[in-house]
C-alpha cells in the first residue's frame, strides 16, 4: 500500500475566460472544481492505475468536506485529520484565446500543536501497512518548516521510505533528514542548491549536490517531461546508507539492462553473442558514452534514449512493450528474428 500525505489540501476551481484582462468584468464560459493538492493528485493518479493507496493529511470546514466527497466519488481511500480551520480554495483563470493561465492560491488554514500530534499518530498507524509514503505540497501556516523532516525521521524509524516533493526551507529540511527520493522541479532544485542550471552539466551537478545534502535519490522534473534524470552519490561521498529494499531494486534494474544488452546480436563496441549453438555471450565490452544524449536519442525513431539499443549505440534490436511514465517504468523486449530480418530489408532499400 502507498500512503500519500497532503498537509495543505485545497478545492481547485478553474474558470475559462476568453480575452482575460485585469481591471475588467468578464464572464466565464466554462468552470471546473476538483479536490487539489500535490499529495491528492498523486493518490488520484495511483488509484487510476489500480494501485492500493490511502490519502491522508489535513482538511477542515465545508471545503474540507467537499474534498473528502470528491475523493470518495473518485474511489480514492481517505483517512484525513479534521481541523478547526477551513480548507483553502484556489482559483485558476485560463484564457483560451492566448493559452495563458493566472493562479490565485490561498495560503491555507493554520494548524495547532494538538492537530499536528494527531497527524503523527494517524500516519504512524497507517505506516504499519505502507510500503512507501509520499509527502507532497506546501505546508500550512503554523506547521513549521521542519514538519516534513520530523515526519521523515519518524517514518524512517518505522522502515518506510519517503518520497518528498516540496519547496523552500521545507524541502531543504526534508532532504537533510534523509528522504529516500526527492522530486523538485527545475526552479525548486536551483533554489535548493543555490545556483542556476545553464546546461546539462549544471543539471547533473545539481542532482549530485542534492544527494550530497542527504537525499538517497533525486530527480529533477522539467517542463518538457522527457528529460528526467536521477543521481546517486559516488562511493565514499556520503556516509548515509541506502535501505536494502531500494538497493535490491537498483541491482535488479542493472541486471535487466545487462541481460538485454547481452542478448543483442554483435555489433562493433556493443555486447556480442558467440556463434556457438548454446549462444553463450563472449567478448562483451561497453562502448564509450562521450556522445551527447541527444545524438544517441535521434539515431532511430524505433528506440527511446534509455533503451538498451541506444545505451549500447547499436542498430535498434528491441521494441517498447509497455511504459508507465507516472511510475517511471518501462519494459523493453528483444525483437524476434522476423522483426530483425524486416529491419535488414528496410536498410537495404534505403
The three grid cell numbers given for residue 317, joined into one nine-digit string: 534490436
Cα 159 to its chain centre, rounded Å, is 21
The three grid cell numbers given for residue 162, joined into one nine-digit string: 519517503
pLDDT digits (tens, 9 = 90+) for 220-234: 888 765 344 444 444
The three grid cell numbers given for residue 270, joined into one nine-digit string: 556493443
Q: Which of 6-15, 142-151, 210-219, 318-327 has the lowest mean pLDDT?
A: 318-327
Burial class of residue 324 (count of CB atoms within 10 Å of its CB; 0-12, 13-18, 19+): exposed
Instruction: Please calculate the CA angle 46-48-50 and round it to the nearest 5 degrees.
Output: 70
Residue 228 CA to residue 183 CA, distance in Å, equals: 10
pTM of the predicted structure, to 2 decimals: 0.64
Residue 177 CA to residue 1 CA, distance in Å, equals: 23
> What is the SS3 assignment for 313?
coil
Residue 96 CA to residue 233 CA, distance in Å, equals: 45
% of the chain residues with pLDDT over 90: 54
Which domains does the chain possess? 2-16+27-231 (3.40.1190.20), 246-348 (no CATH)
Determine contact, residues 134/2, Cβ cutoff 8 Å: yes
Number of residues written out for the chain: 350
Residue 27 CA to residue 291 CA, distance in Å, equals: 53
pLDDT digits (tens, 9 = 90+) for 56-91: 999 999 999 999 999 999 999 999 999 999 999 999
Residue with cell 475523493: 71
Q: What is the DSSP letter of 185?
A: B
Amino acid at each position: 500500500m502507498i500512503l500519500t500525505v497532503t498537509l495543505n489540501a485545497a478545492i481547485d476551481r478553474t474558470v475559462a475566460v476568453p480575452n482575460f484582462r485585469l481591471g475588467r468584468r468578464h464572464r466565464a464560459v466554462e468552470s471546473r472544481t476538483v479536490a487539489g493538492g500535490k499529495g491528492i493528485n498523486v493518490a488520484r493518479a495511483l488509484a487510476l492505475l489500480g494501485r492500493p493507496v490511502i490519502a491522508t493529511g489535513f482538511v477542515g470546514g465545508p471545503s474540507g468536506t467537499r474534498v473528502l466527497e470528491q475523493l470518495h466519488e473518485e474511489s480514492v481511500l481517505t483517512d484525513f485529520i479534521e481541523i478547526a480551520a477551513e480548507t483553502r480554495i484556489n482559483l485558476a483563470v485560463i484564457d483560451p484565446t492566448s493559452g495563458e493561465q493566472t493562479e490565485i492560491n490561498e495560503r491555507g488554514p493554520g494548524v495547532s500543536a494538538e492537530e499536528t500530534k494527531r497527524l503523527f499518530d494517524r500516519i504512524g498507524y497507517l505506516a504499519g501497512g505502507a510500503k512507501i509514503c509520499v509527502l507532497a505540497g506546501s505546508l500550512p501556516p503554523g506547521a513549521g518548516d521542519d514538519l516534513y523532516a520530523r515526519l521523515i525521521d519518524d517514518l524512517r524509524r518505522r522502515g518506510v521510505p519517503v518520497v518528498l516533493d516540496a519547496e523552500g526551507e521545507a524541502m531543504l529540511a526534508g532532504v537533510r533528514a534523509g528522504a529516500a527520493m526527492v522530486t523538485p522541479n527545475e526552479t525548486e532544485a536551483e533554489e535548493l542548491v543555490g545556483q542556476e542550471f545553464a546546461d546539462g552539466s549544471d543539471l547533473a551537478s545539481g542532482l549530485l549536490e542534492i544527494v550530497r545534502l542527504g537525499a538517497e535519490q533525486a530527480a529533477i522534473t522539467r517542463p518538457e517531461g522527457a528529460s528526467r534524470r536521477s543521481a546517486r552519490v559516488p562511493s565514499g561521498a556520503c556516509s548515509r546508507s541506502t535501505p536494502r529494499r531500494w538497493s535490491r531494486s537498483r541491482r535488479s534494474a542493472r541486471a535487466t539492462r545487462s541481460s538485454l544488452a547481452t542478448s543483442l546480436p554483435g555489433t562493433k563496441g556493443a555486447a556480442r553473442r558467440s556463434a556457438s549453438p548454446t549462444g553463450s555471450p563472449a567478448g562483451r565490452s561497453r562502448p564509450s558514452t562521450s556522445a551527447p544524449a541527444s545524438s544517441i536519442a535521434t539515431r532511430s525513431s524505433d528506440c527511446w534514449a534509455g533503451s538498451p539499443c541506444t545505451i549500447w549505440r547499436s542498430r535498434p534490436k528491441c521494441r517498447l512493450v509497455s511504459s508507465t511514465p507516472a511510475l517511471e517504468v518501462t519494459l523493453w523486449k528483444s525483437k524476434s528474428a522476423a522483426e530483425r530480418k524486416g529491419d535488414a530489408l528496410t536498410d537495404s532499400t534505403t
